[in-house]
Amino acid sequence: MKSIGLSGLRADLPIGAMAAFGCLRVLQRVEVFRGSKLAWERAGGSFTAVLFPPGGQAESDLVAALMADVKTAADRKELTWRKKLKGLGQQEYHDAAAEALQEASQRRRETADWFAAFGCETGLDREGNIEPTPLDMTGGPQEFLAGALELASRLSTEPKGRKKGKTPEKAYREALFGPWEYGEDQHSLGWDPTTIKLGAFTHQAPTMMANSGVLAAIWLAFESIPLFPCFSADGVRGFQRSRREWTLYWPVWERALSLDSIASFLSLPEKEMWGRGATAVYKSRRFYLNKYYAAFRAPELGGVTAAAAAG
C-alpha cells in the first residue's frame, strides 16, 4: 500500500500527535480518502506519522483535500452554535447536544461526536456550569470555538496586506511535512509545550509578546477533539485525572490503523497499551500557567519496546 510520510507531525509533541489524529479524522469526510489509516515510523529520537490512503493518493492530493475541507468550517453547527465552552449552562448544553443526537445517524454523527467531546452533563464546575473538555485550555478574552473559526478562516483565504502570511497551501505543507517555522502570530491553544511563555523566563510580560504557532497544525489538532469524548466529570478518553490535574496519554504504533482502531487504542490504560501493540507511549500533564490559562507540559516518554529502541 502506498504511503505518505508526514514528517512534520511528530509523536513527541501533544500537538503533533493530535494533528496526526485530526488529519485522519478530516480525511474520513473526504470520499477519496475515506478509509485511510495511520501509523508511525522512527525518525531520529522520535516518531513521525505515516498516512496510508486507500487509493494511492499523493501529497498534493492530501493538501488539496485538507484545503477544501477547512472552507466548510463556517457552516458547521458544532463550531458556530456558541463562541466558547466556558460558562456553558447545563440546560443549554443538554438542549444543543440532544438536537445534535436527534439529527445523527450511524453514518452521519459528526456533530454528535463533537458535542460528546465538548463536555458531560454530569461534569459541572464550581459555578454549576459544564466543565469543558480538558483540551480547552483557553481563558480570559479567548473564545475557544470562535477562535477556531477564525483560524479556519485564515486557512481558507489567501493572505492580503503588506505583511502577508503563508498561503493555505504553504501552511498545510509546513504542518504536514515540516519543518515547523513558528512564524505565525497564532496561539497554540496550550497544546504545544515549545510555545509556552513563562514570565519568569521571558524578557517582558508574556501578554506583551507575540504568539508563535503553526497554523495548520493547530487546526488539525483541533479536529482531533471528537476522539476524546467526555464520559463523566473524571472520565475523558485518553486522559487520567488526579484532582484538578489531567494527564494525556497517547501510544505510538507501527502497523497502519483505522480511525476506529485508534479510538479504541486511546481508550486503554497505559499498561494495556503495551499489550495491544504500542511501540512507545507518551504522556503530558496539563497545568495552569495562571488562574485562567492552562497548557501541556513537555511530554514524558513512558518507554519504548526493545525493537523500537534498536531501530
Does the pLDDT at position 200 exceed 70? Answer: no
Question: pLDDT tens digits, residue range 123-178?
Answer: 888 899 999 999 999 988 889 999 999 999 999 998 876 566 789 999 999 999 99
pLDDT tens-place string over residues 35-69: 999 999 999 889 999 999 999 899 999 999 999 99
How much is the mean pLDDT over the chain?
A: 91
Grid coordinates given for 225: 477533539
How do 300-304 and 294-296 pair as beta strands? unpaired
Give CA–CA dist 205/199, Å, rounded.
6
Global pTM value: 0.93
Q: What distance in Å separates the CA atoms of residue 201 and residue 220, rounded to the nearest whole number?
A: 29
DSSP annotation of 107 reads S
Which three cell numbers, joined as nine digits, stand for 265? 487504542
Check the CA dihedral 88-73-26-283 and report its sign.
Answer: negative
**For residue range 207-265, what is the model confidence (pLDDT) as tens digits?**
555 678 999 999 999 999 999 999 987 899 999 998 889 999 999 999 999 999 999 99
